[in-house]
Chain A
Amino acid sequence: MMEILSVLGYSFFVMAAGLLYMGIGRKIAARLHRRYGPPVWQCYIDVVKCFSRRSISHNFIMDLGSMMGLSGLLAAAMFIPMASFLPFPSQGPIIVILYLMPIGYLGMAMGVSASGNPLAAIGIGRALTLMMGYEVPFAMIVLTFVASFSSTSLVKLQELQAGGIMNWHMVTMPIGFAAALIALMGMLGKKPFDTMIAPSEIASGPMVELSGKFLGLAFLQHATAIFVETGLIVIMFLGGASNVFEFVAKQALVYIVMASLSELWARYRVEQATKFLWISAGSLALVQLIVNMAGRK
């Protein structure tokens, strides 16, 4: 009973935190444009509004895909140790998280392809191509951790970095950190890698046929994805956290950096984005892997 309650509470916290980061990101982007910008809680208003509208479902697969997209990412969030708090006891197995995260995107792919809109099919094709791009460098970074510390547990990675900023992997593995940030940019769909959304080009891609509650679910799914992905970076490189506030603050910091960098660049085409991710981020990750293996006793 307690576990069900804590899973539910954790899910709500994850979505609320993700929406808060989205709101902060929009505000930061607005200030960089020298605009006043929407209030920080704008994303909560948007989600409530989306759920209050009538929605058009095309078939059963569309309903199922939308639910699967959100639940896949929420399942991945269940294994992120938020300052040693987990909804149920586990060691934060990183392989399971990497396995569950694509389920969210595949669910979204299934749902929006069922709507039958050709622009949605183009958008989801681009999203999955881009996923191929950022999964390779990110998997290499995970391989580096596994090879260096012989562990796939996020809790153990967090313990290894205890005792000051000089022990953080951000400082001890700077090349890998750069590769992880580039891969994170692709995961979040931030500016150089936002080919899958591209509102002026393919009419917002996967979201083209989503109305009302489906759009609300897509919003929540993106919020959960932000939480999972920034959470992974915080635990792997920024030393984790000793309490919840520290964890949330570090996540918000990572997201703010990403949101500000996003305003610098224009959009890549999808093949350019994949090439960039493989060549730049991939070679950085490979260099870090070689350095770590050479320095190993």
Chain B
Amino acid sequence: MLKITREEIIDGKFERVLNFFRSRSMWMLYYCTGCGAVELPPTMTSRYDMERFGIGPMATPRQADILLVTGYVSVKTLKRIVYSYEQMPEPKWVVGFGSCPVNGGIYWNSYATINHLDKYIPVDISIPGCMPRPQAVIDGLIGLMDMIGRGEAVGYKKYQLNNEWYKKNQREILERAKPVLGGTK
């Protein structure tokens, strides 16, 4: 088993200078799986205005720094989330938004959803709540900014180091998503 200390995985001095800029200009891609996306418009617009922290929406995974998984993740959308995550260039961060990506939320015993998102892609910070209010969302994103500034938000490095473990977990779920009645080959 690979033993990695904290000092080895957190960002170095030069990276931390760049992290100053990265944390003050975070562009997000929100994957609107569930009900959470409805909390984002008030967070972005006049009432709570997240652009004052340099956080703004972006259209495609290539341009985005943070991936917001807003709500429950069904076994079919997991595949798309993994695709979107792997298309993003590094450094990249994931925010689990609401209770569902943390532990399944009210869908914890559903046959169609997964319960723990961080078994499949590395989640850097989670914002609990059902749903989290805009204040909580901004608080969570500021927490992520602090983590990036300290060089501790290294989920993407964990994904590289433990890629086999993540891929094994993803395969187990994606087996379940195959069509029952034959489907296309």
Partner among A36, A208, A211, A215 whose Cβ is within 8 Å of the Cβ of B49:
A36
Q: Say yes or no for A116: interface residue by CB 8 A criterion.
A: no
Structural contact, B52 and A37, CB atoms closer than 8 A = yes
A interface size (C-beta, 8 A)? 30
Partner among B25, B45, B59, B90 whose Cβ is within 8 Å of the Cβ of A204:
B59
Interface residues on B, range: 20 to 34
Chain A residues numbered 14-37 whose CB sits less than 8 Å from any CB in chain B: 26, 30, 33-37
Binding site of A, secondary structure by majority: helix, strand, loop or mixed?
Answer: loop
Structural contact, A55 and B49, CB atoms closer than 8 A = no
Structural contact, B22 and A52, CB atoms closer than 8 A = yes
Instruction: For A208, list chain B residues within 8 Å (CB).
Output: 59-60, 62
Task: Report the separation of the CA atoms of residues A56 and B53 in the bound assembly, to the nearest whole angstrom.
Answer: 27
Chain A residues numbered 31-49 whose CB sits less than 8 Å from any CB in chain B: 33-39, 42, 45-46, 48-49
Instruction: For B157, list chain A residues within 8 Å (CB).
Output: none
If A35-B46, A199-B59 touch, whether A42 touches B54 (CB-CB below 8 Å) is yes
Chain B residues numbered 66-124 whose CB sits less than 8 Å from any CB in chain A: 89-91
Structural contact, A38 and B63, CB atoms closer than 8 A = no
Chain B interfacial positions (CB closer than 8 Å to A): 18, 21-22, 24-25, 45-46, 49, 51-54, 57-60, 62-63, 65, 89-91
For this complex, 10 residue pairs linking A to B, each with C-beta atoms less than 8 Å apart, are: A36-B52, A38-B51, A45-B25, A52-B22, A56-B62, A200-B59, A204-B58, A204-B63, A207-B59, A211-B62
Chain A interfacial positions (CB closer than 8 Å to B): 26, 30, 33-39, 42, 45-46, 48-49, 52-56, 199-200, 203-204, 207-212, 215
Beyond A36-B49, A49-B22, 17 additional pairs, beta carbon < 8 A: A30-B51, A34-B46, A35-B49, A35-B52, A37-B52, A39-B52, A42-B25, A46-B25, A48-B21, A52-B22, A53-B91, A56-B62, A200-B59, A204-B60, A208-B59, A210-B62, A215-B63
